[in-house]
Amino acid sequence: MTFIKASRRPLIFRRLTSFTVLEFKTLADKLRSEWKELEYKRLSSRPNRQRKVGQGRPYKGSFETMLLLTVMYLRTAIGGALLSYLFSVDEVTMRSWRNLLLPLLQDRFIPQTIVRGTKRRINDLDEFLNTYPELTEMIADGVEMKIQRPKRKQGKNYTGKSKRHVKKIIVATNRIDNLFLGRTKLRPGSVHDKRILDEDPLHKRLSKNAQVKKRVDSAWTGENPEQGWIVNKRGRRSHPLTDIDKKQNRKLSRIRIKIEHAIRRLKIFRRIAETVVIRTQGLFDQTINAAMNLANFKELVRQPTRA
């Protein structure tokens, strides 16, 4: 299968990638120049190189086909053997294409805010992302990703809430446009959501900016309201919630439902929604980042007035 063949069936193409053909072409156009730059840098950095960059056998597939394979890798949970068979390439070639293109999707469509910090961006962003309005209100929530039962230290990754072995992250979105702004590091399932955020540099950056409202659920009970934290109130034994507290919680939940919709957009990519079988070091993080970037791209490209 190639991009040209797949694009002839628009409905099936969208089911396989979650993008229309036009949206996919837009994505390829935005990444192509950066792909050429990174590829030239990678090839020219080889020691004792004898031939000029560009000589030798070219890739079997076009850039669009390589990108299609990478998107399908994220969109589906099929194994590498089947995915390589669909594209008529060797499984090693499939992994090589995936590893070459995933770095392009690490921070390409994540706007620069206090959530991301001062990390250097490896890609040039579009005009919208460069002129992204100042963040005034964000929503945060935890995301669980199922993993296979580990052979060792099973209790470390087990969560009694879901009765399974998981990895966790905390994601943050902008209340206005529902774009993903960033996430915490990947942590074991036994770690509480509040502890994940407390031990991550993200918490320190957020607490320093009291002007930014931070809406979170009752898992973050105890955060200082003077630092901009808005937390659902929690009832306790012999101290049930009053009617006013319940009304305030409902009001907050109506706002926070947006992040549940954002998590659904993230888990459209079944590679992290199904049981994750990734064992390669660093690939799990790359996969999550790529899914977040593609979810943001889809949100931007479908709203022309803001893209």
Q: How confident is the model at residue 20 (pLDDT cuts 50, 70, 90)?
A: very high
More confident residue, 238 or 73: 73
Q: How confident is the model at residue 269 (pLDDT cuts 50, 70, 90)?
A: very high
Q: Is the pLDDT of residue 262 over 80?
A: yes
What distance in Å separates the CA atoms of residue 272 and residue 75, rounded to the nearest whole number? 9
Do 73 and 271 contact (CB within 8 A), yes or no?
yes
* Residues 212-239, mean pLDDT to the nearest whole number: 82
Mean residue pLDDT across the chain: 84
Q: Is the pLDDT of residue 193 over 90?
A: no
* Residues 25-40, mean pLDDT to the nearest whole number: 87
Amino acid 307: pLDDT:
39
Amino acid 131: pLDDT:
56
Helices (H), 76-168: 80-86, 91-101, 127-130
Percent of the residues in the chain that have a pLDDT greater than 70, as a whole number: 90
* Residues 39-63, mean pLDDT to the nearest whole number: 77
Do 146 and 165 contact (CB within 8 A), yes or no?
yes
Residues 6+ apart with CB under 8 A from 292: 110, 171, 180, 183, 266
User: Is residue 163 left, alpha or beta, with left meaning phi > 0 and alpha meaning psi from -120 to 50?
Assistant: left
What distance in Å separates the CA atoms of residue 252 and residue 230, rounded to the nearest whole number? 8
What distance in Å separates the CA atoms of residue 295 and residue 176, rounded to the nearest whole number? 16
What distance in Å separates the CA atoms of residue 256 and residue 169, rounded to the nearest whole number? 17
The kind and range of the H/E element at 125 are: none
Q: Is the pLDDT of residue 194 over 90?
A: no
- Coil, helix or strand for 143? strand
Domain residue limits, the chain: 3-105, 135-266
Do 114 and 212 contact (CB within 8 A), yes or no?
yes
pLDDT digits 0-9 by tens, 74-91: 999 998 899 999 998 999
